[in-house]
């Protein structure tokens, strides 16, 4: 019943990291995920992080804060975080709770989240080309 686990697995997919939160997350697990993601972004020089929260039945202020800090941390490490799959009931509740998730990019599902990430990375490469031509 308790879903006790030490770590939430992080998958590496090319230049992106993929996290699927499938457990009823307790606070220490959320903090561990935040640390692990930072480490892995640096280790793999990742350009994007996709966090799938479609299994999460609620997002409270603690999880909301964790998602926000992952987003700002990854930004400082030159990576983009996209949170995908938020259930409608969760979104409604978060708004009423007062959580805005400002600064966190969202997409409806994994597929759309991946295309957001791919688009951003492609854009960055184009930008680099443009600079070198000047």
Partner 1 sequence: MILKSETLELREDNAVVRVRQRARALAIEIGLGLVDQTKIVTATSELARNTVDYGGGGTATLDVINEGNRRGLKLTFSDQGPGIENIDLALTDGYTTGGGLGLGLSGSRRLVNDFSIDSTPGIGTTVSITRWI
Interface with partner 1 by CB under 8 A: which residues?
1-4, 24-28, 57-62, 64-65, 87, 89-90, 92-94, 96-99
Closest to partner 1 by CB, 31 vs 128, is 31
Q: Which residue has the tokens 């006790």?
A: 4
Q: Which residue has the tokens 């941390």?
A: 73
Closest to partner 1 by CB, 48 vs 85, is 85
Closest to partner 1 by CB, 1 vs 76, is 1
CB of 56 to partner 1, least distance (A): 10
d(CA 123, CA 130): 11
**What tokens appear for 86 in the block?**
């938020």
Nearest to 70 by CA among 57, 54, 87, 53: 53
């Amino acid at each position: 019943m308790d879903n006790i686990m030490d770590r939430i697995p992080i998958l590496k997919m090319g230049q992106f990291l993929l996290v699927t939160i499938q457990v009823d997350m307790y606070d220490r697990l959320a903090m561990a995920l935040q640390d692990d993601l930072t480490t892995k972004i640096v280790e793999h020089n990742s350009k994007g992080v996709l966090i799938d929260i479609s299994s999460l039945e609620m997002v409270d202020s603690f999880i909301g804060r964790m998602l926000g800090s992952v987003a700002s941390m990854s930004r400082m490490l030159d990576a983009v975080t996209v949170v995908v799959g938020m259930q409608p009931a969760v979104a409604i509740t978060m708004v009423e709770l007062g959580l805005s998730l400002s600064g966190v990019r969202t997409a409806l599902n994994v597929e759309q989240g991946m295309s957001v990430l791919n688009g951003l990375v492609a854009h960055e490469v184009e930008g680099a080309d443009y600079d070198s031509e000047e």
